[in-house]
Amino acid sequence: MPTKRMTRLVSDNLREPFGNVPPIAHTAAVDMEGPILAAEVIAFLLQQRSHAGCFDEFVDVLCSYFSGRGGQAPTKGDLTEAARFRSARQVE
């Protein structure tokens, strides 16, 4: 799984000439699904809702975060985490 550190390492290496290979101009692309979904969770918490279905809405937002932060290919762990939150909500 790529990380910020790995992305930086590859990017730095591409910027440096290597033997006969000149530096390669590039930009790193970052998947924005995770940060956008995290912002939705934070925004929900900042709204200080207090109606009867508020907790269920929060669980739905949290599950959306775990289900979508991997973009088109969520990890099995993230899907499991979302399912765990859904089932915990149903137990109450």
**Whether pLDDT at 79 is above 80:** yes
What is the per-residue pLDDT for 33? Answer: 84
Residues linked to residue 21 through DSSP beta bridges, in sequence order: 18
Q: Model confidence over 8-57: pLDDT tens digits?
A: 888 888 888 888 889 998 887 777 788 888 999 999 999 877 888 888 89
Contact 28, 11 (CB under 8 A): yes
Band of pLDDT at residue 71, cut at 50, 70 and 90: confident
CA distance 66 to 45: 16
